[in-house]
Chains A and B, each alone.
Chain A
Amino acid sequence: MKTALPALLLLASLGAACAQNPVNATGAPATDPAAEPATSPSLDDATPAPPAPTPGERYWQLRFLEGITTDVDDDLRAALEARYGPPDGTVPAIPDLATYQGAGYRIASAESILASLSDLAAFREAAGADVDAELRRIETESPEIVATIDQELLAEEILLVRSAVLDSLELMAANGALDERVVEDYQGGTVRARNELEYLAFAREMDALADGAIEESAGRLDAFHRLLDDTENTAFLRERVLAAEEMNRQLTDEHRAYAARRTARTLFFLLPALSSYFRYR
Chain B
Amino acid sequence: MCASARNVRRFRGAPLRAACLFVALAGLLLQGCAGTARGKAESAYGYDPTFAVEDASRSPADAWVVVRYPAMIDSDADAAWKDAYARQAIGGRVDNDGWTSFDADAIAEGAIAKSNFYAMSLYRALREELPPDTVLLSPHLVTTDENGALVTEPMLATESIPSVLTIDFVTYSFPDPEKMMDSPPLTFGDMVTPLAVVHADHWLRPATNGLILASEDLVASAWQQSSEIADEEFAGRLAFRPIDDARSLDFARFLNGDVPQVQVPTKPVRSDRPELAAVERYPLEKIRMDGEQVTGWPNDPAQNPFRTSFADGVSSRVERALSNFDHDRATFSDRQKLLASFDPELAFAFLAHSEDESVRARLALAEKLIEAERRFLAAQSERIYAGVFEGAYGRSMREMIAAEQRNLDQRREIAVRQNVATAVAILAMAGAAYAGSDVWDGGSYDAGKALLSDALILGSFAAVETAIAANQLGDQVGEGFLSQMAPALTEQITVQVRLAEGTREISARDYATFREQTLALYQSRVRSLTVDIETDCTYRHPEASSQGRWYGACLNGLATGRGYGVVRTDAGRHVEFLGDARSGTANGQGAMILHEPGLVGAVYYEGGFRDGRPHGEVRVEVAGQNTAWRRYEDGVDRGRGDPEAWRAFPFQ
Chain A contact residues, CB within 8 Å of chain B: 188, 191-192, 195, 198-199, 202-203, 205-207, 209-210, 213-214, 216-218, 220-221, 224-225, 227-229, 231-232, 234, 237-238, 240-241, 243-245, 247-249, 252, 255-256, 258-260, 262-281
Contact = CB atoms under 8 A, between A and B. Distances in A.
A278 to B, nearest CB: 5
A121 B170 CA distance: 62
Interface string B107-128: 1011111101000000000000
Given A255-B461, A256-B458, A224 B476 contact: no
A277 B484 contact: no
Given A259-B457, A260-B457, 14 more contacts: A209-B518, A210-B518, A221-B386, A221-B488, A229-B391, A232-B392, A241-B403, A255-B461, A267-B188, A272-B109, A273-B467, A273-B475, A275-B110, A279-B75
A24 B463 CA distance: 85
B486 A244 contact: no
A272 B105 CA distance: 8
Given A241-B470, A276-B109, A278-B112, A206 B387 contact: no
B474 A241 contact: no
Interface in B191-222: none
Interface string B494-518: 0001011000101001000110011
Contacts of A199: 361, 364-365, 368
B113 A259 contact: no
A271 B106 contact: yes
A227 to B, nearest CB: 7
Interface in B464-497: 464-484, 486-488, 493, 497
B391 A225 contact: yes
Nearest to B77: A280
A270 B469 CA distance: 9
A17 B540 CA distance: 58
Contacts, number: 275
Contact of A214 (B177, B379, B456, B484): B379
Interface string B394-436: 0111011001101100000000000000000000000000000
B515 to A, nearest CB: 10
Interface in B547-602: none
Contacts of A267: 177, 180-181, 188, 407, 460, 463
A199 B363 CA distance: 10
B380 interface: yes
A241 B399 contact: yes
A209 B75 contact: no
A237 B383 contact: no
A278 B113 contact: yes
B113 A206 contact: no
Interface stretch (B96-104, B344-352, B624-632): B96-104
Nearest to A213: B514
Nearest to B298: A238
A237 B399 contact: yes
A25 B474 CA distance: 78
